[in-house]
Amino acid sequence: MIGALMLDIAGTELTQEDIELLQAPQVGGMILFARNIESPQQVRALTDHMRQVRPDILIAVDQEGGRVQRLRQGFTLLPAMGRLGEHYLENPQQAIELAEQCGWLMATEVLAVGIDFSFAPVLDLNDVSDVIGDRGFSKNMQDIVPLADAFMRGMKKAGMATTGKHFPGHGSVKADSHVAAAIDSRSYQEIYDKDMQSFIKLMPQLDALMPAHVIYDQVDPNPAGFSPFWLQTILRQELKFDGVLFSDDLSMQAACVAGGADARIQAALSAGCDMGLVCNDRNAACTALDGIQELALPNQQRLERMRGKIPNIQVGTTLTLDDENWQNVRKVIEEFKNSF
């Protein structure tokens, strides 16, 4: 069974404390960061060990491209998605092909090391935000949709579920919600017309969404990830979205409005999230776990859709990706990166 808390570990292998936490019923996911990565072989050994301890665990990573990719040593470094948006203005068909190849390449490498999915793609506008920027495909929704659609098509071809972030849109909010309260004072109609359209148009491709830690104060007093209005009234009821809802990291500064880690994850789950993330703070993760011990487990059928098609690799086998298709796609992406 899959629990409602996703947390992290400090090192490149499991400690006894990590193992004990993994066995808690309400722990449902693990997210890896750069500090957990030494090589593809080491990552696969780590994820295999996690599944020995907890066979039903979901393992995730942020591998978007550009400045947000945790898997680096031994992996392909993808361009920022904003570079694809720039190329789209000159050669739209080639940019769409590159986006699909990026999605496939990212997913293939992530799955090979035993990670179920990457929290990708970013569907926010590449607008005024300090934290989004070129993580977004474009400043224009009309350009985001075909590029993100292609990227997700590549992910799915490789066997990975998709996660769009950060609903209903973080690109028009300047503040970085990791370190500050982020407030957007536009009307619902303005947000709907500008930022939400990429999410709405791409919903058939989306297996999951991650709401923004942004307060849209003309719409609701709570950050979107703590808001029954955004998650239930808008997403579940009006837009009929039945995918997974992951909270953004509940250790981020913008999430502190809900109180301690236990109150934050309770607020996120109560609002409609299926799983809450508590990262880079083990004490907070333990507090969050204590706060949800008595709650029912989340929707299992929904969460199971996030399980990746991870290739079987015999223990002790050297992990290599020497598939000809992988080599060809990697070469194309490297050539594109070297062109700017």
Binding site residues for substrate, as ranges?
62, 70, 135, 165-166
Please indicate whether residue 256 or residue 21 has the higher confidence score (pLDDT). 21
Please indicate whether residue 174 or residue 275 has the higher confidence score (pLDDT). 275
Mean pLDDT of 325-334: 94
Residue 319 scores a pLDDT above 60: no
170 is catalytic: no
pLDDT confidence band for 178 (50 / 70 / 90): low
Residue 320 scores a pLDDT above 90: no
Residue 257 scores a pLDDT above 80: no
pLDDT confidence band for 322 (50 / 70 / 90): low
Residue 316 scores a pLDDT above 80: no
Mean pLDDT of 167-191: 81
CB crowding 121-145: b at 16 or more within 10 Å, else e: bbbbbbbebebbbbbbbbeebebbb
Residue 259: the pLDDT is 75
248 is catalytic: yes
Length of the chain: 340
Residue 251: the pLDDT is 82
Q: What is the pTM of this model?
A: 0.95
Q: pLDDT of 81-114, one tens digit each?
A: 999 999 999 999 999 999 999 999 999 999 999 9
Q: For residues 26 and 327, what is the distance between their CA atoms, to the nearest angstrom?
A: 40
Q: Name the residue range of residue 254's domain.
A: 5-338
Residue 171: the pLDDT is 85
Beta bridge partners of 69: 63
Mean residue pLDDT across the chain: 93
Please indicate whether residue 266 or residue 180 has the higher confidence score (pLDDT). 266
Residue 321: the pLDDT is 65
Residue 295: the pLDDT is 96
Count of domains for the chain = 1
Residue 252: the pLDDT is 64
Residue 313: the pLDDT is 73
Instruction: Kindly state the greatest CA–CA separation across the chain.
Output: 57
Residue 23 scores a pLDDT above 90: yes
Q: pLDDT of 55-91, one tens digit each?
A: 999 999 999 999 999 999 999 999 999 999 999 999 9
- Tokens linked to 85: 């948006």
Range with lowest mean pLDDT among 91-95, 111-115, 119-123, 258-262? 258-262
Residue 296: the pLDDT is 96
Mean pLDDT of 284-297: 96
Say which of 248, 249, 262, 274 is annotated catalytic.
248
Residue 57: the pLDDT is 98
Q: At 104, phi and psi to the nearest 5?
A: -65, -45
Report the candidate in 120, 115, 121, 118 with the shortest Cα–Cα distance to residue 57. 115
CATH number at residue 261: 3.20.20.300
- Do the Cβ atoms of 32 and 57 come closer than 8 Å? no
Mean pLDDT of 40-46: 96
pLDDT confidence band for 182 (50 / 70 / 90): confident
Binding site residues, as ranges?
62, 70, 135, 165-166
Residues 6+ apart with CB under 8 A from 116: 58, 59, 60, 160, 161, 306, 307, 308, 310
Say which of 130, 178, 281, 290 is annotated catalytic.
178
Please indicate whether residue 251 or residue 101 has the higher confidence score (pLDDT). 101
Residue 261: the pLDDT is 92
Q: For residues 100 and 86, what is the distance between their CA atoms, to the nearest angstrom?
A: 16
